[in-house]
Structure 1
Amino acid sequence: MFVYGMVGPLVSGLAAGAVPGFRTVLATACVAGLSYGPMVGLAYALTAALAAPVRPEATHEPDRLLRTDRTAVLQQILVNTVVFGVVGWLLYGPGGDVADWLFYTLTGGVGVGLAYGLALTAWGHWMVLARIWLPLTGRLPWAVGAFLRDARRRGVLRHSGAVYQFRHARLKEHLARTYEKTYEKR
């Protein structure tokens, strides 16, 4: 949160065409770190307290594990939104501006929860890389799950716990060489 507080005034200042002073940046960083830090810490502590451990049998199917992780991310977003909503209500007060409170609640709760979910969880990495980036760049088909299940059914891939693996080392090496040759030309 301290770094977030430092970056905010820098970006705002640069967008306005002026570079803010060091004291302004440091003051904003301290306020952000001391005000938002405890809220985010409280939200993560509540989420950790409410989280149920993953049962070993749930790790046998990659799809089930991703669903479990997605549920945990949605719970994190919900807890963040409630914590930011309550604290925002305390900051803006019952007589305060409802639009400001709502903006604070949604950007803080949903924004921080979604950032956490996309950056720090298996489901987030799956969404960003396998469902968005790799299909956009043409390196995976859009129906990734169906593609992996079909490759497993055909005996090209197997899954061990939560991961898919090539069954044949020669095929894996051939695909790696082909990939290197193809993308070295670019």
Structure 2
Amino acid sequence: MKASQKLMLGILGLLGCCFLIWTACAWVLEAPYPWEWLFLYQAKAGLGRDLQELPQPKEFQRVTLITPPYVPDRSERNGCYPAAAFIAFGTTLSPQTAIERYIQSLSIQGWQLRESGAGEWILIRRPQEKIIIWIGEPGLDFAFDSAYRQAQEKFPTFVYLHLYYILPQVNGCY
């Protein structure tokens, strides 16, 4: 066997060992396996596209965007790979008018209302995309955000969104 072949086998063996160690560590820590990172990356890229396309009508100002680094552990994931962002829009419109106008601007982009009730609206555009939109209390995601706290002096009304991009699809995942 030539020296170059031995070198190539040594490199492949080292890479294989690294892959096995990475997989074992992921198993012990309940972190994503090496092959799952591709799905998580694709979900994050889909979320990025959705964020760029998110409407911002002239009466609304985006106050804050929170993209948590959260990666659910294997027991929570069940074959689903989510990416999420939390967005708060401030407006001087009344709460009812604000929610109606924002949902209308989303429907122009193809988002369809799937569920509403208890001050919360759920919209779906594609099988991987979901928005939960509400007015009222911000929740902990926004309560400690400095940009949101400053905007409370300027805007009487806020529209909150949780935007999700989930692979393979929203149904059956979250």
Q: TM range, normalised to the smaller chain?
A: under 0.3
Higher strand share: 2
TM-score, length-scaled by structure 2: 0.25
Structure having the higher Rg: 1
TM-score, length-scaled by structure 1: 0.23
Which has the bigger relative contact order, CA under 8 A and spacing at least 6? 2
